[in-house]
């Protein structure tokens, strides 16, 4: 089936909803963490979550997801650990990745093979300069309630390499949500990507993360690039105060990601509402933080049951597949596993200088 290419649903199967939006739909200051549950929902949130719950009731997921045991690990990094046994045992086996520039393989599983009912929304912004159509589909092996995939024009068969239009569309989706815990992420080839077909993850996690608020060291003014060190996994930080800066930010992030691949490094990315690079004390309210991690590439198929370090773990959110690991893991153990995947700080500083010159020039 080719739902992504416009296949018609079978009789009785739900169809995707056209979701047309404009800048008036952007929630410039999302609800804070003190808001009542359910009160911090926008038109986009309601459409996504209602469609997601409908597909869960229809049995389109690989498992039924209920409330998940969740705890914040003791320690300054405030890591959020969550037990999700079924994702570890019942998800589709990840594809083997052998190269940072592996071409798209139409014979392997890809998102044109989704059932039409798995697609929830067709996101389209009104206006002549809008990003391309973005499909919102369920992740059949969800991390959390509302875990979806954002698919930029899947019929084009693009490999899993981040593009500026795809990132800009994803960041606009973050601005369409009023929920403080709606996050966006990307796993690159060699960075725990499971499918080599361009996609981003989006999910709701009702816990704040340190990466939203930790102050950063400015590398390239004005706020175009900073280095975030006092977090679980040091990262390059890009920031936009609002929708007007998303196009430039998206280009900058993708130029930086391409530079990392040229240097033989894999990458992951994560976007969330957050404070300006210098922290909340700098004033100005919250905007969008985009983190880009450089990491040592890992090739071959990732183990479904292991503690894999992908975008969630790098951001400080630990989905764990086994109860003993969830019960016993410490902050020190988690940080050791995470930071083993990263270059040393001296190399990050050198890369930061290279990226600052690249973006400034």
Cα–Cα distances (Å) from 221 to 210, 280, 306, 357, in that order, read 23, 18, 40, 11
217-258 tens-digit pLDDT: 998 776 689 999 999 999 999 999 999 999 999 999 999 999
The confidence score (pLDDT) of residue 4 equals 47
The confidence score (pLDDT) of residue 300 equals 79
Residues with catalytic function: 199
Encoded tokens for 325: 């690991």
**Residue 210: pLDDT over 70:** yes
20-55 tens-digit pLDDT: 999 999 998 876 776 655 667 999 999 999 999 999
The confidence score (pLDDT) of residue 5 equals 44
Q: What is the C-alpha end-to-end distance of the chain, expressed in Å?
A: 46
Give me the chain's average pLDDT, please.
Answer: 91
The C-alpha angle 87, 187, 182, rounded to 5 degrees, equals 70
The set of residues, in sequence order, having a beta carbon less than 8 Å from that of 273 and lying 6+ positions away, is 30, 174, 180, 212, 286, 287, 288, 289
173-205 tens-digit pLDDT: 999 999 999 999 999 999 999 999 999 999 999
Identify the CA nearest to 80 among candidates 26, 151, 150, 143.
Answer: 143
Q: Which domains does the chain have, with CATH numbers?
A: 38-360 (3.30.428.70)
User: For residues 96 and 192, what is the distance between their CA atoms, to the nearest angstrom?
Assistant: 10
Query: Which residues make beta-bridge pairs with 135?
Result: 122, 151
How confident is residue 305, by pLDDT bands cut at 50, 70 and 90? Answer: low
The confidence score (pLDDT) of residue 67 equals 94
Burial (Cβ within 10 Å: 0-12, 13-18, ≥19) of residue 24: exposed
pTM: 0.94
């Amino acid at each position: 089936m080719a739902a992504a290419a416009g296949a018609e649903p079978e009789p009785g199967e739900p169809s995707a909803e056209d979701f047309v939006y404009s800048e008036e739909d952007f929630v410039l200051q999302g609800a804070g963490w003190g808001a009542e549950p359910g009160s911090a929902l926008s038109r986009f949130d309601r459409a996504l979550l209602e469609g997601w719950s409908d597909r869960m009731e229809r049995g389109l997921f690989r498992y039924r997801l209920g409330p998940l045991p969740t705890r914040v690990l003791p320690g300054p990094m405030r890591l959020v650990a969550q037990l999700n046994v079924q994702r570890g045992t019942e998800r589709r086996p990840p594809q083997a990745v052998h190269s940072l520039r592996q071409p798209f393989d139409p014979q392997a599983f890809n998102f044109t093979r989704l059932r039409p009912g798995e697609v929830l929304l067709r996101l389209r912004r009104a206006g002549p300069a809008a990003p391309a159509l973005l499909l919102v589909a369920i992740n059949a092996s969800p991390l959390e309630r509302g875990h979806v995939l954002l698919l930029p024009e899947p019929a084009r068969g693009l490999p899993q390499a981040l593009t500026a239009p795809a990132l800009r569309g994803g960041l606009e989706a973050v601005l369409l949500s009023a929920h403080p815990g709606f996050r966006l992420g990307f796993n690159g080839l060699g960075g725990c990507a499971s499918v080599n077909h361009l996609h981003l993850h989006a999910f709701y996690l009702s816990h704040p993360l340190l990466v939203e608020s930790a102050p950063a060291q400015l590398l390239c003014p004005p706020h175009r690039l900073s280095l975030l060190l006092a977090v679980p996994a040091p990262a390059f930080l890009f920031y936009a105060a609002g929708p007007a800066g998303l196009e430039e930010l998206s280009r900058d992030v993708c130029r930086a990601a391409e530079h990392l691949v040229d240097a033989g490094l894999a990458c992951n990315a994560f976007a969330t509402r957050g404070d300006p690079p210098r922290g909340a004390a700098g004033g100005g309210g919250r905007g969008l933080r985009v983190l880009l991690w450089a990491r040592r590439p890992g090739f071959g198929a990732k183990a479904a049951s292991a503690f894999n370090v992908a975008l969630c773990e790098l951001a400080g959110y630990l989905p764990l597949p086994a109860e003993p690991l969830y019960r016993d893991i410490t902050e020190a153990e988690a940080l050791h596993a995470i930071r083993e995947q990263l270059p040393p700080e001296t190399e990050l500083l050198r890369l930061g200088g290279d990226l600052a010159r690249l973006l400034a020039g």
